[in-house]
Amino acid sequence: MPLYEHVLIARQDLSNAQAEGLVEHFSTVLSDNGGKVVESEYWGVKTMAYKINKNRKGHYAFLKTDAPSAAVTEMERLARLHDDVMRVLTIKVDAHEEGPSVQMQKRDDRDDRGSRDDRGPRRERR
């Protein structure tokens, strides 16, 4: 079966439990139609680049799935009809990456930039 990655954005006025319940709901929709959820992550409330339906923030969730296209189509259809879901993005991938997604990695793991003290000597103003 093909591999997919989905990102769901839910309304900001939902509780964390309700947002995670949406992920469970759409996971069961996929499994009822012959697919399976390999991994799911709840990214939390994040600020969006622009307003969607008068909302500046949203609950983000990420799903890695192994499902037939009919199951994915049905899940997307139900997500677009659901009042609490603002956006759905589905991408077909060749293989799922191992480990946590980039959003879930700690900032401490990204130490390739160096600290602010390593910038070199300061220039004086004239």
Per-residue model confidence as pLDDT tens digits over 48-95: 999 988 889 999 999 999 999 999 999 999 999 999 999 999 999 888
Q: Which helix (H) or strand (E) holds 30?
A: helix 16-32
pLDDT digits (tens, 9 = 90+) for 98-114: 877 777 776 555 555 55
Contacting residues for 94 by C-beta, under 8 A, at least 6 apart: 3
Delineate the domains of the chain, giving CATH numbers in brackets.
3-96 (3.30.70.60)
